[in-house]
């Protein structure tokens, strides 16, 4: 675990992006603290199991998406504006906030509007 503590927020987020691309929920949740919080408009999910649930929903909404990310880092906080497109849906207003601590993601908020596309 010592190696994880030396990672910068930028390095953690880069690894998070690679994990998301894999679709492997165990690999994705490994970048989160054991007691992480994942906050969505529909409620608060806790721990790595909660992260898996929240990310699973996002990936289910946007399978094999093309992503456009606009990250802004400020010390241990990341403000992320994003959009994504799939064959059947798109998001144009994605906004997440990440809080990093000890080489892991401690907290994340997620907000987006899923719009169906005629495919």
The predicted-structure confidence for 76-96, as pLDDT tens digits, reads as follows 999 999 999 999 999 999 999
Measured between alpha carbons, how far is 66 from 60 in angstroms, rounded to an integer?
A: 14
Among 21-25, 49-53, 68-72, name the one with the lowest average pLDDT.
Answer: 21-25
Measured between alpha carbons, how far is 111 from 62 in angstroms, rounded to an integer?
A: 14
| Distance between start and end Cα atoms, the chain | 45
Q: CATH code at 108?
A: 3.10.450.50
Q: What is the pLDDT of residues 31-53, one digit of tens each?
A: 999 999 999 999 999 999 999 99
Measured between alpha carbons, how far is 18 from 40 in angstroms, rounded to an integer?
A: 22
CA dihedral 111, 9, 100, 28 (to 10 degrees): 60
Cα–Cα distances in angstroms (integers) from residue 48 to residues 8, 24, 37, 75, in the given order: 20, 13, 9, 23
The pLDDT assigned to 69 comes to 96
Range of the domain at 85: 2-116
The pLDDT assigned to 1 comes to 43
Q: Domain count of the chain?
A: 1
């Amino acid at each position: 675990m010592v190696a994880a503590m030396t990672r910068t927020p930028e390095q953690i987020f880069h690894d998070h992006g690679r994990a998301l691309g894999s679709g492997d929920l165990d690999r994705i949740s490994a970048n989160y603290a054991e007691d992480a919080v994942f906050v969505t408009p529909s409620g608060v999910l806790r721990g790595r199991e909660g992260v898996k649930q929240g990310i699973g929903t996002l990936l289910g909404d946007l399978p094999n998406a093309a992503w456009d990310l606009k990250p802004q880092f400020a010390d241990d906080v990341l403000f992320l504006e994003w959009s994504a497109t799939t064959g059947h849906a798109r998001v144009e207003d994605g906004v997440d906030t990440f809080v990093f601590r000890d080489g892991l993601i401690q907290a994340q908020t997620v907000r987006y509007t899923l719009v169906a596309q005629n495919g």
